[in-house]
Amino acid sequence: MTDNAGVEPTPTAYFERQGGVRIAYAHTLGRSPTVVLLCGYASDMSGTKARFIEARCKARGQAYLRFDYQGHGESSGDFVDGGVGLWSEDARRLMEGVTQGPLVLVGSSMGAWVMVLVALALKDRVAGLLGIASAPDFSEDLILPALDPAQVDALAREGTVRLTSRYADDPHTVSRHFLEDGRRHLLLRSTIGLHCPVRLLHGLEDPDVPWQTTVRLARALESQDVTLTLIKGGGHRLSEPHELEIIDHALWTLISELA
């Protein structure tokens, strides 16, 4: 069963950061390690994968944390003021503030970029990683090369550009700040000093982030315990029922191995 029928979502709470920032989160208590979902760019904690993993964690008595970055979902802040650095800091501060003990981080798309940045900051607590359609460095490697001259000019003059998305009716805003911030946090240009177990999933038909990006991530990680699963026919979201089951299997196999 892949639906969440009969499973009540954990109520939303708020974590206060300096400057009056409020980070919306839902923390399900349970056994260690705590599973933490890191959402993708412009996604939030109410999405299909976030709720699916919560339901499975509850069924198994596993601790689980999902949340919204600043400028996303129910958290405060303006989306165009954010970037992977700020959102990684949101994630780290929240984990330090509301969780205890070992963590297994699950990063979806941009969330896998955040996942690795947080793991580097919390090496003593992060026991394992699961990347789903991982998109580290996508601002530099995917967004910038795709901009046409008019969009580059708009970024230079106005500081923002509106880009269409296959996942939303309205264009979303990409800021010069987001791109510059991404450049300060690039990962794939050097080795990544993590040694925990890492499981990576990617759809072979992903139209947004090529599966080769996940191969680059696997190669950059210093850990020797890294496996990559390519899903035939899989797109970017990997939210179809059979794809959710693949995610579930990878996550619980990882947790079992850690135990």
* Domains of the chain from N-terminus onward: 13-137+193-258 (3.40.50.1820)
**And the tokens for 24?**
């919306």
**Residue 77 has what pLDDT?**
95
Whether residue 46 has pLDDT greater than 90: yes
Question: Are 83 and 108 contacting, i.e. CB atoms less than 8 angstroms apart?
Answer: no
Contacts of 92 (CB under 8 A, 6+ apart): 118, 121, 122
| pLDDT tens-digit readout, 210-249 | 999 999 999 999 999 999 999 999 999 999 999 999 999 9
Q: Is the dihedral of CA 170, 175, 181, 187 positive or negative?
A: positive
How many Å apart are CA 176 and CA 58, to the nearest integer?
Answer: 40
Whether residue 62 has pLDDT greater than 90: yes
**And the tokens for 69?**
């970055």
Whether residue 2 has pLDDT greater than 70: no
| pLDDT tens-digit readout, 151-167 | 999 999 999 999 887 77
- pTM listed for this prediction: 0.95
Give the mean model confidence (pLDDT) for residues 45-54.
97
**Residue 3 has what pLDDT?**
54
Whether residue 140 has pLDDT greater than 80: yes
Average pLDDT of the residues of the chain: 95
Whether residue 37 has pLDDT greater than 70: yes
Whether residue 1 has pLDDT greater than 50: no
Whether residue 4 has pLDDT greater than 70: no
Residue type present at position 45:
M
Nearest to 206 by CA among 143, 135, 148, 147: 135
SS3 192: strand
Which residues participate in catalysis according to the annotation? 109, 206, 236
Whether residue 5 has pLDDT greater than 60: no
Whether residue 203 has pLDDT greater than 50: yes
Q: How confident is the model at residue 88 (pLDDT cuts 50, 70, 90)?
A: very high
**Residue 7 has what pLDDT?**
79
